């Protein structure tokens, strides 16, 4: 069986996933989440920054997610990035990021690419996890697109495993509820790909 090159010019592609009739992948040196179809070629649909190391997606209807540990994380600090993509306007959204208490884990900040004033953010310890929760305020909406939520935290010096970390995303679109979730696995250079499953 002979392979065929279908595209070139990518910036260190990694972790291809077949989803919604397209090949999704990350570009490590470019810091992108990208997709390819025969009709459109390569589209860069998300700018994660850093060096995202592989894509393993979770999907439920119009909702899709991907998680990664920022490659700029170091021996005493880390950032977990969660990318959410929606093909419909969302009228409700709750994003919950859980960081296992592996020793010395404490909050160091949080951000999101959607407007800050549209969300209530709470950060606290719960059942052995540091939990970041973003809840869309009543009357606000999330437009179609790709959005990033990030939690930053300090931890005990010497590196940290993300194997027990996880996330869930629950959203309402056109009156239907959708949920995706996943967990993080260790990757090279401090980065990680997220595995997950979707279910309504």
Using one digit for the tens of pLDDT, what is the confidence trace for 42-82? 877 666 555 555 555 556 667 888 888 888 889 999 999 99
Q: What's the burial of 103, exposed, middle or buried (CB within 10 Å: 0-12/13-18/19+)?
A: exposed
Rounded Cα distance, 196 and 181, in Å: 5
Task: Give residue 182's pLDDT.
Answer: 79
Every domain of the chain and the residues it spans: 1-56, 59-184
Lowest average pLDDT, out of 23-32, 51-60, 66-75, 108-117, goes to 51-60
Q: What is the pLDDT of residues 127-174, one digit of tens each?
A: 899 999 999 999 999 999 999 999 999 999 988 888 888 888 989 998
pTM of the model: 0.68
What's the CATH class of domain 59-184? mainly beta
Question: pLDDT exceeding 70 applies to what percent of the chain?
Answer: 78
Over residues 29-54, the mean pLDDT reads 70
Task: Give residue 192's pLDDT.
Answer: 31
Q: What's the burial of 72, exposed, middle or buried (CB within 10 Å: 0-12/13-18/19+)?
A: middle
């Amino acid at each position: 069986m002979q392979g065929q090159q279908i595209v070139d010019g990518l910036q260190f592609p990694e972790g291809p996933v077949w989803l919604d009739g397209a090949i999704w992948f990350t570009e490590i040196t470019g810091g992108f989440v990208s997709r390819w179809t025969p009709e459109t070629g390569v589209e860069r649909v998300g700018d994660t920054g850093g060096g995202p190391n592989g894509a393993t997606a979770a999907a439920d209807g119009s909702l899709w997610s991907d998680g990664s540990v920022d490659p700029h994380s170091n021996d005493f600090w880390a950032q977990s990035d969660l990318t959410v993509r929606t093909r419909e306007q969302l009228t409700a959204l709750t994003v919950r990021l859980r960081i296992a208490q592996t020793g010395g884990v404490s909050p160091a900040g949080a951000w999101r690419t959607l407007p800050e004033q549209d969300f209530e953010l709470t950060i606290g310890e719960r059942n052995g996890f540091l939990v970041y929760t973003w809840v869309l305020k009543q009357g606000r909406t999330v437009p179609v697109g790709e959005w990033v939520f990030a939690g930053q935290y300090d931890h005990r010096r010497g590196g940290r495993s993300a194997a027990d970390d996880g996330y869930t995303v629950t959203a309402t679109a056109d009156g239907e509820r959708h949920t995706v979730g996943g967990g993080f696995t260790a990757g090279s250079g401090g980065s990680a790909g997220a595995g997950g499953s979707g279910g309504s």
